[in-house]
Structures are given as structure tokens and as C-alpha cells.
Chains A and B, each alone.
Chain A
Amino acid sequence: MSPAGRSLRRTLALSGKELRHIVRDPRTLYLALGMPVVMLFIFGYAVTFDLDRLPLGVLDADRSPESRELVRAFESSGVFQRAWDLSNAAEEAEGHFHRGRIQGALVISPGFGRELGAGREGQVQFLLDGTDGVTAAIALGYAGAIAKAYQLRLLSRLSLELAPPLDARVRLRYNPEARSTIFIVPGLIALILALMMVLLTSLSVAREWERGSLEQLFATPAKRLQILIGKLLPYVALGMLQVLLVLALGTLLFQVPVRGSLLWLLGTALVFISGCVGQGLLISVLTRNQQLATQVAAITALLPTVLLSGFIFPIENMPWPLQALSTIVPARYFISALRGIMLKGNGPAEIWPQLAALLTFALVMLAAANARFQRRLD
């Protein structure tokens, strides 16, 4: 057999063996293919940052056509739902807030319609449950927008030719309905890959250290690179399978668009996965122990990907030390590139900086793992 043929045969035999390990340990397979589905369902259906029918308490003490129109404007927005009619007292609203029956209250004082009719300022009070700051901030934005629209309608009705001085028309590009699922799916792909790839590869090599099979493997003339590539290849393939699975479910169930090239998307994913398996390999080479490898993988892969990648928390809002730290989190570049490709239809011209960062990370991780992986026991 030629040296190249022998090399290929060794690499493939290692991959085949690794594939058998994966297939014969159903837990790995369940974890690798089940977890993305579960996470997609959780994030797609349960965890959503979109506001929908927020329960609203309404106290309309005015009962004028104007006040009824304002209440209707809130109801028809779809964001708020009239849940309770409050009779009069502010304490009643407080009680409902406490019991969690309402998250907002609209209080229109008597004389609202009369004041408006006289051309003066009408007073409206809007109360919000601020316990959940994110929801409150979004609700406040909507309430302001509804009030503003109502105001504009009133103005055009009252003073005929007096056009409003500024007509700002905000249009959300790429995700017009601001659906968080669309925004979440790219992040979810990164999270699943970062977690599973790092964890599975670090466990697979650490297991061989623990069981002692590496000692037998080291007694063969197989080269270091053949061992590494052969062991990593099946996990890279598994990672690509996960990407395809999440993409397929995301498009089918949540109408997540892929506006850019699918080939560039998969290519970018391949580079990210290579970095992740490199990281997993480095962890297992350094720890040589499954339990420790799991912990290190969780700390170095899961935490930064959830917290510092822009998956949920915008990087722009972080204090500068965290922003600086986020520059070495590969998921940050991957998520940004994925969102670009999927939502904006970006191609290589736009995503090359992210791609370059991911490529750098992958090369550094694989080189470090390769350097530390000794073909000996000491």
C-alpha cells in the first residue's frame, strides 16, 4: 500500500470506529440530535421576546367618544388586551398588579374629552409593571407609539390643513414584524454547535485517556495527525447534521428565512465547527479526564456563547471589559455572520471579517491542540 493510501485508510478506520462509538451509545445521538429540536421548540414557542396581548386594566372615568377611541386604539394594536375594567380607585389597579392579573393600566381622568374638544391638553395616565424590565420597556415603546398615532389622528381632524411638523415613518428592515424567533434561530445554531461540538470531542478523547485505549493506539505507527483528523471528522459531520436539522425545522416551523447563499452559510458553519472541535480537543488533551473536561467545556464554551455572543444580550450594551472579552468569543462572529446571511442575504463581501475571525480561532485551536497532543503517555 502506498503511504498516502495507508494514511487515508488509517484516518477512515479511525473515523469508522468513532462513528461506531457514536451510534452504539444512543445517549450521544439523542443528545446531539434531540437537544437541537427541544431547544428550537423552547426558544421558538415558549421563550419569545415578542409582546402579544399584554393584559391591560382600563379605567375610563371620562366615557366620552374620545376616551373610547383611545381605549380602542390600545386594544386594536394587538399588543395589549383589555383584561380588567377598573371602577375608580388607583388601589384597585395596585391589587391587580400584585396578583399579576394585569401588566399595564390605562387611566383616563374625567374631562379628557372635554379638554380635547376645547383644544387643551388631555391627561392620560399609563401604569406599567416594571418587575420585568425588558417587557416594560418594550410595552412602554408601544404605548407611546399608540398615543402618538392617536394624537396625529386628532390633530388632522381638528385643524384641517395643519400638517404635523414631523412625520417619522419607522420601518423595520429584514424582520418587519420584529419576530424574535427569526433573530434567535441563528444564535441557537451557534449555541447548540458550541456546546455539543466542544463537549462531545473533549469527552471522546478524554474517554480514551481514561480507558487506556490511547496507550494501545499509541503503540501503532499511526501518525498524530491521522489520529486527530480521524477522530474529529465524525464530529464535524455530526455538527453539520445539526445545522441542517435546525435550519430545516426553523424554516418549516417558524418561517425563518435564508436570504443569502446556503453554501456560504454551511461553509461558515464548517469553519465554526472546526474551531469548536479544536477547542474540545485542546480541553481533553489538557485535562485527560472526562469529568474535568465537561466542566471546562461548560465554562469555556457554553457560558460565553450564551452571555457574550450577542445571542440574547446585545454586545453594544455591555460595559467595555465585557465587550473586550466578547471579541475572543467565536460565537459572536458566527452569530453575526449567520444573521447577516440568513436575514440580510449577506455574502462574502459583507461577512469576510467574521469569517476571518472564525478561521483564526479554528487555526489557533487546532494548532494548539496538535502541539499539546503528544504521542506518548508523559
Chain B
Amino acid sequence: MSGAILAATDLSRRFGKIVALDGLSLSMGAGELFGLVGPDGAGKTTALRLLAGQLRPDAGSVRVMARDPVREGDAVRAELGYVPQQFSLYGDLSVQENLDFFGAMFGLNGAEVEARSEELLALTRLKPFRSRRADALSGGMYKKLSVACSLLHRPRVLLLDEPTNGVDPISRRELWQLLQRFAAQGMAVLLSTPYMDEAARCHRVGLLHRGRLVRCGPPGELRHSVGHGCYWLEDLPRQIAEEVLAQTAVLTRVPQGKRYRLLVRRDGEEALAQRVSQAGGRLTPTQPGFEDLFLLFTSEGGDGA
């Protein structure tokens, strides 16, 4: 994996009897925006903490610029920005005081902290709020401050644990623009998110389910890898629709308003189409999305193929 800025090999971690992460392997290059997508409890936070060296793996290894974050912690932390999921700044300190504090922690001198916090405050548009206490910020502003605090030392790798969780849509878009900008400048950005719609904005996506990376690749490729037919079922009353759909070829069905969204095994498409037209309904093919892909994994217990 030459050129990999961040690499994980067979990374596993258990807590008691619960296997939180089971054999995660991934590799990222400079300028890449990687999304680790999965539902709550899939192991996203554990994965990020292991990558950041905040947890020790039971098996496998992490390399950040060819260094081990557990054994060479300080060297790795100097190249790594980490934004934890929970509120982790000091609520009773102001925006500027938080920046000053973390700047000192990263070993910057006063002039460096001043110049870089100016830059980051301008970038995150937090300048007007620099003297506001952190716990008086909105969810989106707080996240932006959190990101700013972890960028003071100009890391080459940025890890963010569910940065858009609890953030309003406008701030969310702003946050994404920032992350895309950092990646364009050559930073390796890895984030986790439970929102499928966000996966499309990443260069590469890893689907995490029950501690395992079940799929990994560019979003477009992943969508096409579904390998099943995706349809809208319309014009059928609920009860009749349920009867028509009660067969093994229908892998997922999600009622959405009066319609159903379906994933159907290729070998059962024809039979289903017949039954639907007999019942007087309409079946329209559509493009599979991440949500379909994900439902497939969760409904089949992670097998997916």
C-alpha cells in the first residue's frame, strides 16, 4: 500500500463479548474523502477511535503515514486531526479560548495560534462568535468549532465521527463544502455517518454492518453493484400489494406513501411483473440507491450478495 496515508489492516476490537469491529481493512490516499456509512451500533465510533489511536486494537494494525498510532502516538497525533462524536470542547470557554487552548496543546506558539485561528474562523465563518461561550453555540457552529480546533496543527489526515449528526441542513451543507475543500487541498478526510444520502458526496464509501466492512468502493459503483432489480410498485391497495409481494424473490419492500420501493431478485422479476399486472398494479424500474443497498444488508443479515 505505497502512498497510503491512512491504512488499517484486519482491525478488530471487542468489548467484553460484543465484537464491535471485525477485521476492518481500508486504505486512503492524499486528497481522498472517505465515508464510513452504517447504522447506529455498526462499529463506526470504534473504528474511528482505533484509527485515531484512542483505542488499542485486539488484532490488526493501523498506520498513519506509516506510523503506529498506539506506539508512536505523539508523532501520529501531530499529523492527525480528530473530531469525536460527542461534545468534546470546553463549554465554559469562548470560541477563541478553545482555539487558543488546543493550539497550545498542539505545541504552536502564540503567533501561530493567532494566525491559524484567524484563518480557520474566517473559513468556518465563526468570526462574529469568537467571544461566545462554546456551549452557547448552535449544533452546527459547535461542530465547525470542533473541526477548527482539530485543524490548528494542519494535519494531513482528518477523522470525523458523525460530524453532521444533530446539525441543521444548511450547516450540514456548509460542513460538507468545508470537507470537500480540505480534500481538494490534499488532506485525507475520513468521516462516519448514519445518513445514506451523504455517502454520495464521498469519493469512496465503506458500508459498515455489524462490525464488518461489507462493501467498499466509489458510490456510483456501489450503487450498481446491487445486482437486483429496483422498482416502484404503484396503484395497488395495501392489502393486495402485501399478498402480491409475499414471495422470496422480493428481497426488500419499503412502503413510501401509496407506493412501495422494491428490490427484486433477477430470476423472479418476470413472475412478479405478471402477478402485479394481473392484480391491476403498475411496476416501474428505477435506479438503486444507497438506502436500497443498505436495506439489503440489514434484511439479509449482512450477506448481501
Instruction: Point out residues on A near B: beta carbons under 8 Å.
Output: 1, 6, 9-10, 12-14, 16-17, 20-21, 24-25, 211-213, 215-223, 375-378
**A377 touching B55 by the CB < 8 A rule?**
yes
**A212 touching B86 by the CB < 8 A rule?**
yes
Q: Other than the known A10-B107, A216-B150, A218-B54, what 15 A-B pairs have Cβ atoms closer than 8 Å?
A: A9-B107, A17-B93, A20-B97, A21-B90, A21-B92, A213-B89, A213-B90, A216-B82, A216-B146, A219-B80, A220-B106, A221-B74, A221-B106, A376-B70, A377-B54
Contacts A221-B77, A376-B54; A212 near B84 (Cβ below 8 A): yes
Q: Which residues of A contact B149 (CB under 8 A)?
A: 216
Q: Which residues of A contact B84 (CB under 8 A)?
A: 212, 215-216, 219
Q: Which residues of A contact B49 (CB under 8 A)?
A: 377
Cβ-neighbour of B73 out of A10, A14, A375, A377 (below 8 A): A375
Cβ-neighbour of A216 out of B89, B104, B153 (below 8 A): B89
Q: Which residues of B contact A212 (CB under 8 A)?
A: 84, 86-88
**B107 touching A219 by the CB < 8 A rule?**
no
**B88 touching A211 by the CB < 8 A rule?**
yes
Q: Which residues of B contact A213 (CB under 8 A)?
A: 88-90
* A274→B7 CA distance, assembly (Å): 43
**A219 touching B54 by the CB < 8 A rule?**
yes
Q: Number of A-B pairs whose CB atoms are under 8 Å?
A: 86
B162 in the interface (beta carbon within 8 A): no
Q: Which residues of A contact B100 (CB under 8 A)?
A: 13
**B54 touching A9 by the CB < 8 A rule?**
no
What 7 A-B pairs come out closest when comparing CB atoms? A13-B104, A220-B105, A212-B86, A219-B82, A216-B88, A212-B88, A221-B77
B141 in the interface (beta carbon within 8 A): no
Interface residues of B in 69-123 (CB under 8 A from A): 70, 73-74, 77-78, 80-82, 84, 86-93, 97, 100-102, 104-107, 109
Cβ-neighbour of A376 out of B56, B89, B105 (below 8 A): B56
B53 in the interface (beta carbon within 8 A): yes
**B89 touching A378 by the CB < 8 A rule?**
no
**A376 touching B53 by the CB < 8 A rule?**
yes
**B55 touching A376 by the CB < 8 A rule?**
yes
B8 in the interface (beta carbon within 8 A): no
Shortest CB distance A53–B (Å): 52
Contacts A13-B100, A215-B54; A220 near B77 (Cβ below 8 A): yes
Q: Which residues of A contact B150 (CB under 8 A)?
A: 216, 219
* A324→B277 CA distance, assembly (Å): 90
Shortest CB distance A121–B (Å): 77
**B105 touching A13 by the CB < 8 A rule?**
yes
Q: Which residues of A contact B74 (CB under 8 A)?
A: 221, 223
B208 in the interface (beta carbon within 8 A): no
Contacts A10-B104, A221-B74, A377-B54; A1 near B109 (Cβ below 8 A): yes
* A375→B49 CA distance, assembly (Å): 13
**B90 touching A13 by the CB < 8 A rule?**
no
